[in-house]
Amino acid sequence: MLKRLPILCATLLALAACSHDNGNSTAQSAAPAASDTTSTTTAAVASSPTPATTSPAPATAASTAPVASGTTASQPTPPPAAPFVDNGKWVEGKNYFLIEPAQPTSHPGKIEVTEVFSYACPACNAFHTTADRIAKSLPSNAVMNYLPAAFRPDENWPLYQRAFYAAQALGVVDKTQDAMFDATWKTGELATYDLSAGKPKPHGAWPTIDDMAKFYAKYGVDPKEFVAVANSFTVNTKMKRADDLVKAYGVEGTPTMIVNGKYRFGPSTTGGYAQTIELTQWLVAKEAAGK
């Protein structure tokens, strides 16, 4: 049973990840190059992090095939595919980890790149502009997905997961991905944390699905329709399948990157944000080359 602890996972000068808390916290982080780190503007991310352990963990098979778990990045002019060159820089078991068994993907004919994230995760907030850069860097043979995690119910993550899938079903998630981070960590409109105090708000002050509906109304969504879709069987099913897939990937913290259902890594294993972009590109080339 998940032991709920009101721990703020954040970034402080060095990159950290929001961890899957099983009642024990393991402190591991790697400092990215200062020029790569996206600074946050809230006091919440000035607290000490509870980073994820990023050593490889055996993954259990998902009970279902993955849904199209995120948005397809807008790529009007995709960059050319890079040739695969193995110069020994990236080491399996150190910089990236095999997912065993490999998980099925949802875009036949495309190499699938997925960010496992939560809008409520401060480390994901710091990383999300890098995720945007990854999406823009992908060649035409690859596609970007976003898979919302919900393993921190003590920090209201299931609500943000539900909002993501409702927005996806209503066709607005492409427009709102970055704005949701701003509403959670910059303006505080949808914050579960008291951004001035750097700690969780009382449970009764947490944002609700109705608050999410008001936010998405700015993007042309009828609030009543948003709430109905958010509570629908379809969204409930997607949430369950997302939880299964997060477990099957062996994800222990966010943000985590997945390439083609086979490889798992993140900034703390690559050495920084820029290196995460580079490793993503390298693994996409590796998959394209059939290596």
Residue 4 in any domain: the answer is no
Residue 235 included in any domain: yes
Q: Is residue 7 part of a domain?
A: no
The range of the structural domain enclosing residue 189 comes to: 26-289
Q: Which residues of 265-278 are buried (b: 16+ CB within 10 A; e: fewer)?
A: bbbbbbbbbbbbbb
What pLDDT, on the 0 to 100 scale, is given for residue 80? 73
pLDDT at residue 70, as a whole number: 47
Q: What is the pLDDT of residues 3-61, one digit of tens each?
A: 333 334 443 333 457 877 543 333 333 333 333 333 333 333 333 333 333 333 333 33
* 269 three-class SS: helix
Q: For the CA atoms of the chain, what is the radius of gyration?
A: 18
The number of domains in the chain is 1
Please give the average per-residue pLDDT across 122-143, as a whole number: 96
Residue 158 falls inside a structural domain: yes
Kindly state whether residue 10 falls inside one of the protein's structural domains: no
Within-domain flag for 3: no
The answer to whether residue 285 is domain-embedded is: yes
CATH code of the domain in which 263 resides: 3.40.30.10
Answer for the pair 261, 117: CB distance below 8 angstroms, yes or no: no
DSSP string, 169-230: HTT-HHHHHHHHHHHHHTS-TT-SEETTTTEEPPGGGS--HHHHHHHHHTTT--HHHHHHHH
